[in-house]
Structure formats: C-alpha cells, structure tokens
Amino acid sequence: MKLGDMEFWQDKDKIIDKLRAEKVQKLIEMINNMEIKGKLRLGVCISSSTYAKLKYNKAHIYSMFNR
C-alpha cells in the first residue's frame, strides 16, 4: 500500500468519526428539546425491545401520557 493510500484511509476514518459524533450530538439535542411525555414514550420504546426482555402494557402506559 502506498503512503498516499494510507493517508486517504486515515482521513476517511476521521471524517466518518466526525460525522458520527455530529449525528450523536444532533440526537442528544433532539431528545433534550422533547417534552417530558415524548421522552417517556421514547424510554418505553427503547427499553421494551426483545433484547431487554421487559414487558410493558404499552397501550395502558401511552393512555396515561395522554391525560
């Protein structure tokens, strides 16, 4: 591999890392700007995945958010 090729891949990795960091920052800003009900709904959705093995009655929880 030529030196120029190695520099390209290092620059590419830096650019990808920067883009990922920007996306994460935007996501954090979006969550911070959400109302509390939206944050709670998001928490229920994230924690109720098949991997977490938590079972919620989502219909009941969401009906409580709409009060």
pLDDT at 1 over 70: no
Q: Which of 6, 25, 28, 42 is nearest to 61 (CA)?
A: 42
> What's the N-to-C CA distance of the chain in angstroms?
63
Task: Report domain extents, the chain.
Answer: 1-33, 35-67
pLDDT at 48 over 90: no
| DSSP 8-state symbol, 40 | H
Average pLDDT over residues 25-54: 84
pTM, rounded to two decimals:
0.61
